[in-house]
Chain A
Amino acid sequence: MAMMTDTAGLRAGYVAQTARRYFVLAMAAALLTLSFVVDVATGPGNYPLRTVIETLFDPVAHGVQIKVIIWDYRLPIAVTAVIVGALLAVAGAQMQTILNNPLAEPFTLGVSSAASFGAALAIVMGWSVLPVVGALMVTVNAFVFALLTCGFILFATRLKGVGSETMILFGIAIFFTFSALLALMQYMASEDQIARIVFWMMGSLGRASWEKIALGAALLAVVIPFGLMRSWQMTALRMGETTAQSMGVDVARLRVEMLIVVSILAATAVAFVGTVGFIGLVGPHIARMIVGEDQRFFLPLSALAGALVLSLTSIISKSLTPGVIYPIGIITALIGVPVFVSIILSTRRRSLS
């Protein structure tokens, strides 16, 4: 009898924990919605919140001028912040799990600097990796270089004796290589070109367009279910490679599959907004601290947390100085990092409930 109640008690505990996690996901989604609306409502022009919300539901409710500002300027930027935040965070979350390293993300693995070099190559030399891309040359170059770097990382993980620490060292090597090449590009560039490169590297949501948004959303719609389907295996990977294998996970195959998928995510996100460090790190870390590492909750919460953080960054970038929109890459580093460090320090000793 004692064992019966024991069994029921354990299950009840787990069920309650699961319910709490769904609640956290719902709260995060609600916060994201709120942040999104505020993001759309802030900006030069100072329209009242009500006017903005009414325009969202009925574009021409307050005239064509507001419609253009909301629908053609603010909305694409706000949606891009959400999508790119989620892309970067999902990429970071999966990289951290696959490479078994909490520091792994597109920025620390050198993917961002490779993309910057690709962009610079297009800006300075007018040289495109893929022909016939026209105006999209900068974005396409950034994407291709980011993808090649991910391919190199994938290759490196297959080498014998390359552990998780070595991966980050590879990332640093990639970072310095492309930084040097980038400096070379800047040395060769004209003043105007230097300005464009620097602005690209700072990371900006201003390059938003509905085509990019559709592409990013489609990627998320494919990758998140893909990750969720493999969530039990991915969680098992956190128990250690040998343990995961002994549980029946084909670790080598899982790694390759996930890295390919994640490479495309990371390359896309970086190509869209430029260098935005920290989101791929902070999204997963916040998620991990709240729901632990059961990937069924960790992955979606990482996506929501990343989206929320970038959306908040977008709001802050418009609010610091009236009439000025600062590049988000600067904001994420200046405001996000101290907040992040304080979160880590304050929750480090708290055990998981």
Chain B
Amino acid sequence: MTLTIQGLHARYGAVPVLHDVTLAPILPGQFVGMIGPNASGKSTLFKTLSGLVRPSHGTIRFGDTDLCRLCRRDRARCIAYMPQAFGCNAILTVYESVLLALKQTTGWRVADANHDRVAQTLAALNLSHLADRGLGNLSGGQAQMVAVAQTLVRDPAIVLLDEPTSALDLHHQLSILSSVRAEMQRRGTIVMAALHDLNLAAKFCDRLILIREGRIMADGTPEDILSLPEIGETYRVETALERTRRGSLYVDATLGAAY
């Protein structure tokens, strides 16, 4: 099933944040990168898709289902949103916190199938060794990976990750994104991730969407999008897209004279 977003508007009070967001259908298994500067509306788009913010106009459809008509629980079953990591002071182990995310949309009793799902998710993200650790004893990066696990464990059809790599070192940036990509492609899950690192976005995304001041500026393959002059304008830098000797795309950015 595909995700279609049409004519989406959202506002915080009187301040409009999203303007007429329309996207070509997003296909199952697609890894979509949302790029754009701070405060461009990436998080608001995710919150609107997951139901935390009510759109003032527009439709969000998954297959034939109008997501805005689903109750909160059903919507959470379909769409899993990982907010930006802020950390928390709850006294829970990693295992408990991941199980907790799963239990919101399953019955009260902890079933064997629940344990299997939690253990598999932790294993898929290489987090099994942290299972008994208290949430308060995690590093920022570990907490972020646990948050990803909390999102994936629910086995949703659509995953929205808000800056999933912001606190991670280079190794973990690559490992978490490749784990997520492999696992989600296997399951046919749609992934939308807000990313600040354009090189990471180029490496992992099938499709990039450039958003600026709540408007969709461009939508296409990483190579097409990253070579646009709008990239430089949007981020207020001068950019040049190159291909490295190993074949990866590389965005070379400098502050430049114009900015």
Measured CB to CB, the closest approach of chain B to A195, in angstroms, equals 44
Q: Which residues of B contact A248 (CB under 8 A)?
A: 72-73, 75-77, 104-105
* Contact segment of B23-31, B120-128, B237-245: B120-128
Task: Check if A247 sits within 8 Å of B104, measured CB to CB.
Answer: yes
CA distance A233 to B105 in the complex (A): 10
The chain B residue with its CB closest to the CB of A295 is B100
Cα A243 to Cα B131 in complex, Å, equals: 20
**When the two chains form the complex, which single residue of B92, B104, B128, B134 contacts A294, counting CB atoms closer than 8 Å?**
B92
Residue interface mask A342-353, B partner, CB < 8 A = 1: 000000000111
Query: Is B119 engaged at the interface, CB distance under 8 Å to the other chain?
Result: yes
Chain B residues, Cβ within 8 Å of A7: 115-116, 119-120, 123
What's the least CB distance linking A333 to chain B, in Å?
26
Give A316 to B198 CA distance when docked, in angstroms. 67
Q: Interface size of B by Cβ–Cβ distance < 8 Å?
A: 44
Q: 8 Å CB contacts to A: which residues of B127-175?
A: 128, 131-132, 134, 136-137, 147, 150, 154
Query: In the complex the two chains form, is A13's CB within 8 Å of B136's CB?
Result: no
Q: How far is the CB of A184 from chain B (nearest CB, A)?
A: 41
Please report whether the interface of chain A is mostly helix, strand, loop or mixed according to DSSP.
helix
Which stretch (A44-52, A114-122, A136-144, A234-242) binds chain B?
A: A234-242
Once the chains are docked, how many angstroms separate the CA of A3 from the CA of B125? 12
**Set B73, B83, B100, B128: member contacting A10, Cβ < 8 A:** B128
Residues of chain A at interface, number, CB under 8 A: 31
A11 adjacent to chain B (CB < 8 Å): yes
Contact A294:B119 (CB < 8 A) given known A13-B131, A236-B104? no
- Chain B residues with CB under 8 Å of A288's CB are 91
B-chain residues with CB within 8 Å of residue A245 when the two chains form the complex: 52
User: Do A247 and B137 have beta carbons less than 8 Å apart?
Assistant: no
Q: Which residues of A contact B92 (CB under 8 A)?
A: 235, 238, 292-294, 352
Given contacts A13-B132, A14-B95, A292-B96, contact A243 B123 (CB under 8 A): no
Within A209-251, which residues are at the interface with B (CB < 8 Å)?
229, 232-233, 235-236, 238-240, 242-243, 245-250
Contacts of B150 in A (CB 8 A): 239, 243, 247
Q: Are A235 and B88 neighbours in the complex by a CB distance under 8 Å? A: no
A246 contacts B134, CB within 8 Å? no
Interchain CB contact under 8 A, B119 and A11: yes
Contact A239 B100 (CB under 8 A): yes
Q: Knowing A239-B88, A246-B50, A352-B91 touch, does A233 contact B104 (C-beta < 8 A)?
A: yes
CB pair B136–A6 under 8 Å, yes or no, is: no
With both beta carbons as reference points, the residue of chain A lying nearest to B133 in the complex is identified as A351
Contact A246-B91, Cβ < 8 Å, known A6-B119, A6-B128, A239-B100: no
Is B108 at the interface (CB under 8 A from chain A)?
Answer: yes
Task: Please tell me if the beta carbons of B122 and A10 are within 8 angstroms of each other in the complex.
Answer: yes
Please state if B52 and A242 are interface contacts (CB–CB under 8 Å).
yes
Cα–Cα, bound, A310→B10 (Å)? 52
Report the bound CA distance from A3 to B118 in whole Å: 13
Report Cα–Cα, A229/B109, bound state, in Å: 10
Bound CA span A13–B73, Å: 29
* Cβ–Cβ < 8 Å partners of A238 in chain B: 88, 90, 92
Interface flags, B66-99, vs A, CB<8A=1, else 0: 0000001101110011110010101111011101
Residues of A within 8 A of B (CB): 3, 6-7, 10-11, 13-14, 17, 229, 232-233, 235-236, 238-240, 242-243, 245-250, 288, 292-294, 351-353
New A-B contacts (19) at CB < 8 Å, excluding given A242-B52, A246-B50, A248-B77: A10-B131, A14-B96, A14-B115, A229-B108, A232-B103, A235-B90, A236-B101, A240-B83, A240-B86, A242-B86, A243-B83, A243-B150, A245-B52, A247-B104, A249-B72, A288-B91, A292-B134, A293-B91, A293-B92
- Listed by A's residue number, 10 A-B pairs whose Cβ atoms lie within 8 Å are A233-B104, A235-B90, A239-B100, A240-B88, A243-B147, A246-B52, A246-B82, A247-B150, A293-B91, A351-B137
Q: Which of B's residues lie within 8 Å of A, judged by CB?
A: 50, 52, 72-73, 75-77, 80-83, 86, 88, 90-93, 95-97, 99-101, 103-105, 108, 112, 115-116, 118-120, 122-123, 128, 131-132, 134, 136-137, 147, 150, 154
